[in-house]
Structure 1
């Protein structure tokens, strides 16, 4: 009976000095760690093409694959949706579709690498990049403009932009913000720095609707739908102080009309504790004179959206001090 393969040693993968036991690794990383060629031929490893290996019985981790590719392309930069995922940005609709890895190398390099699942790009030498988790990626503003080239819907681009300018309302949440978060000024400067590239018009249109404070991509998409329908723009995640002194944050609010819209993800339906908290929140808000409208993912279906907008316009017209709420 053949002996089981010896465990693989920890390796330095990508641009990180941290040693880890990866699910995907490169031949150079294995050689540096002292793994022999005969060990690479054992049955617990699978070749992914020239210079790449993965553990047969373990689901490959995306970042392990990117670090291994970084080993094989030391000057390479991950771009587009690949960069966005590393940076922790929101990808919805067409932006999040597909599993292609986008890799760019400086323009002085030759033809792109031929590897299944890899799309090669050329990157100007002045493109701003950063290193995150051992891989080199384009910065969030550059990535925002790159993704605007692909014909994504406006609401998806706005959600992407909102994720770049996210804010946290507590120290704990600030520590949890992903590496791609920056400021609106940085995003505007990044868009302004590329005035003649393909997709810049879409990037500028989305940028005009980007707001800080959004708590999820669906909240961002809902706000865009409301504004494009001609309804006055709401406050995003404002702090509401009740007459009892209690305060809480809500998704979207028209403060003058005291109307609130809350977007409920699946956890609001499946988590009993969350559901009970929502019921209590709504009761407290309504006791203080607020109208609360709750919506789910169904709101993005055309018929449901029309019904929601009809409800919202009615509440705003009745409750606004000047009967406003719709342009």
Structure 2
């Protein structure tokens, strides 16, 4: 068991000076650091060496000791000296620890601080997008245009008139743009077959291949051989034969457009119907002015004509039936 240190001045753990130990407890007597203590009878000395009950003083006053006792005292003295300014080791065993400024042990850690939540919305400021606004914790909680819809759910967060696709109607026809085939034309909105022709204007709204039916015969113009004639719409065998005959006539003689139709439809010639003959001639790629030049040369090859007489012969309904314009062109071309 350790013996209590002898009375004396020791470093004060509760202050910057020294406190007096009376052999049983710490007293209220303190002195500043490095302050000289009251001098002993023998002269001036430090508080540790001359204070009543100091270790050095005790050894000096008890010179006569046994060898063993002297050894123990010397060892104790060495231990006290090696401690320097620290409190004696056995003082902590029998005396209370010096009181620190904060009223407790210096080893007790400070309690963790609570996270700050300025707006009281349950989200710590460090995680809060707007720590002073309880309605907003994240960026998605913003409502930039104040339309009652959060930016994260708003199609156009800066336009108070638009929250979803249904709110966008460019032409104001009551049909949202994403459902309007013609979003910039209030007249039309539907195009069921996607052919860019409004259903109201599409003769075949369910068929993207066709849209026009000029003669209303329920046959699209693109597939109607007679888009202006509701009585027929496809090419017959008779029509094909009339076209073949027209090409044959032009291969050995010159004809005006009307003269060739008459030749094909005449009861004294081919006898095709006027409709079939007209269709056949319409399929030809012919320069009728050049045909007039050929006819003018034929007439002059077997007879003589004045300029006006040849024009009349070429344009007469009893002659070649070219137009007057075609006849004049031909006469000019041959130099008459």
Q: Give the TM-score normalised by the residue count of structure 2.
A: 0.19
Q: Give the TM-score normalised by the residue count of structure 1.
A: 0.19
Higher helix share: 1
RCO greater where, 1 or 2, for CA within 8 Å and sep 6 or more? Answer: 1
